[in-house]
Amino acid sequence: MATDCAEISSYQPASTSAQSIEDLAEKLNAYLNPDHIQEIKHAYYYAEQAHDNQRRRSGDPYIVHPLAVAYILADMRMDPQSLMAAMLHDVIEDTSIGKEALSEQFGESVADLVDGVSKLTQIKFGSRAEAQAENFQKMALAMAKDIRVILVKLADRLHNMRTLGVLRPDKRRRIAKETLEMYGPIANRLGMNTIRVEFEELGFHALHPMRSERIAAAVKASRGHRKEILDKVRLALENHLNQEGLNARVFGREKHLYSIYQKMRGKKKSFSEIMDVYAYRIIVDNVDSCYRALGAVHCLYKPLTGHFKDYIAIPKSNGYQSLHTVLFGMHGVPIEIQIRTEEMDEMANNGIAAHWLYKSSENQNELLSGSHTRARRWIQNLLELQQSTGNSLEFIENVKIDLFPDEVYVFTPKGNILELPQGATAVDFAYAVHTDVGNSCVACRINRRLAPVSEILQSGSTIEVLTAPGSQPNPAWLGFVVTGKARSNIRHFLKNQRHTESIALGKRLLNKALGSLGSSIEQLSEEQIQRVLRDTGHHNFDYILEDIGLGNRVAYLAARQLTEPAATSDTSNSADQGAPAGNTSETDQQGKDQPSPELKPPVPLKITGTEGMIISFAKCCRPIPGDPIIGHISAGRGLVVHTDACNNMAEIRESRTKCMELRWAPEVKGEFLVELRVELEQKRGIIALLANKINSLDANIEKISVEDKDIRFSVVLLLIKVHNRVHLARIMRRLRNVRPVTRVARIKNSSSWRRK
């Protein structure tokens, strides 16, 4: 369990010596009945025969590895099915025996576990990103079906890490890297601190052997002068707790090597600064004694302000519970204290495996604590991410964010607690409550005060999300959300919205092109549509409309292909039809040189201002309602609107397939950006005066820039939002009436702070 304090005792690698099946049977006698021990022995002999003549890189018989994996699970007191799966976990992958044969011999539950673990062996990290992501998705599905799959896999990886020394250096480093990147954090997420610590120590030694040895030597050298202080503080704590009538055990603790290395790197601290902190763990009988012990140690030594954390009242997301405090000890030495019960200590070390009890029936085992529920909730979140994420690389990115949480704990208005990663915002909170709440979020209250949705949340805050019907996620949210759920849901919504808007725009553009050929979408026959679908390889006409709306397919050429007779369509169809609009092809040339005799004057496309993301307004000329406008199709961006006089449209006008006539609808909604250049005499408070005049006319200022022309005169560049040309004219007239202002002009085709 990753905690704010140091980890228990210095790490000592576990023995890698082979155990016999009889040694395992003797160990299992402590909690399993003889019948189930015989079943486990049967699985051992079956695996031994299946792996006959197979050897490990060390030269040992292969069966040594499955037996060692079962031994690790026996230390966790796992159930018979898990132990049999451990014995058989490589049978499907490395032998000719299939899942059906295992199911007949050992039951469907064991066969499913073995099959789930086998699928995980193909995971690759740090090399082929796509393969890594795809295989991790398989792991999420296998874990959702049976959580014991990941426990068997962790035990398998642990024994492989213990025997890593026989491999080539490059392979050792690769395996160590993937262990530190994924398996260690997964063990931590499941609360299995003992396995996590061993993963980190073995991985650190394999990945950075010299650094590991140097830190180990430094720790050993520092133990001599630390021992006296450690013993004095421990005795003082024990005596004071006994005087208070508390039955407590006190342990001195040291950080393990990887923890020291991480803190030296992450916090930029020297070795001596980290080792100057002395840490202890106090184990008591019950929860009441935890808080009494906390009061006792605070009476003995002065607590350090802001360093108390109560993980008993609010457990960590993986079930960890403890009280944390930092004290000023004798001679001003900092002392880190963890206080917990025996059950909490067991949970901190073994996590989800801590309370796994075997039932004599054939049903699945069950957990008697909340750890199982938390693990399932985490896995369910993984599956939700998987469903809402567009691709596997995005999925793995979100999972890695989720695997490294420093939690903050916040409250809903009803008093419920939500745990979120460090740096989470109100938008992350909204999506944690419910996807619909996140999608319709418009503002928030933090501790009853209105706050921006981008504000970072602090532990203990009460968050209220304000929603509005019809509101939708803002693409800018992707710049500050930190949870995978929020990020994937925002992207999913925007992707669907873009898809819908692209189809709508594509339909309008195609209808316009068909209109010039004397037809329309409604007049197209099913045969015409099916012919084009065959030619393009699409199975749905919406995909063609989406391509047109995104600018990846030219509307005029699509219209020609739809309206041409079948005989000529087959010969005129070319690969260029599906090419982006920016490409020039022979087909384009044919369309220009040989126009259809049925061509009619094109009807300008109406712009309403509510089309969404698929229609954008050029920043070079910033058109507003009332301006004469023209447009062009940009590949991947859809329709870009320019003013008719825009200099950048000169070349595009030559292509009739890329350029189109546009006009504003009678009723245009929304606000549009426009740039103004204001020349004025320098005067105190003039910027505030300009802002006040603009605000009084219901316009927003997006940006202000001031350029000094000379000692007396300045130029102010304004980027403001207006409704139309009439609105702009009123603003310009009001600004000209300001006494120091000498000239007001709208900027067109200018690069002033446009690309800043």
Name the residue among 737, 746, 748, 726 with its Cα closest to residue 680.
737
Distance CA 82, CA 73 (A): 8
Distance CA 464, CA 302 (A): 37
Residues 545, 516 contacting (CB under 8 angstroms)? no
Structure tokens at 404: 């490294």
Q: Which of 94, 384, 542, 661 is catalytic?
A: 94
Amino acid in position 610: T
**93 annotated active-site:** yes
314, 375, 599 from 311: Cα distances, Å: 5, 18, 75
List, as one string, the DSSP characters of 492-555: HHHHHHHHHHHHHHHHHHHHHHHHHTT--GGG--HHHHHHHHHHHT-S-HHHHHHHHHHTSS-H
429: number of CA atoms within 13 Å, CB side?
36
Name the residue among 701, 689, 704 with its Cα closest to residue 738.
689
Distance CA 200, CA 339 (A): 24
Radius of gyration of the chain (CA): 34
Residue 253 has φ and ψ, to the nearest 5°, of -125, 150
Residues 359, 24 contacting (CB under 8 angstroms)? no
Q: Which of 52, 93, 108, 285 is catalytic?
A: 93
Name the DSSP class of 122: T
How far is C-alpha 598 from the chain's CA centre? Answer: 54
* Residues whose CB is less than 8 angstroms from the CB of residue 1 and which lie 6 or more positions away in sequence, other chains included: 188, 191, 193, 196, 316, 318, 320, 348, 349, 351
Structure tokens at 349: 């070390």
Strand 659-664 and strand 605-607: the pairing is: parallel
Amino acid in position 43: A
Name the residue among 743, 665, 679 with its Cα closest to residue 715.
679
* Residues whose CB is less than 8 angstroms from the CB of residue 244 and which lie 6 or more positions away in sequence, other chains included: 292, 293, 296
Residues 666, 606 contacting (CB under 8 angstroms)? no
Distance CA 695, CA 558 (A): 47
Q: Which residues are catalytic?
A: 93-94
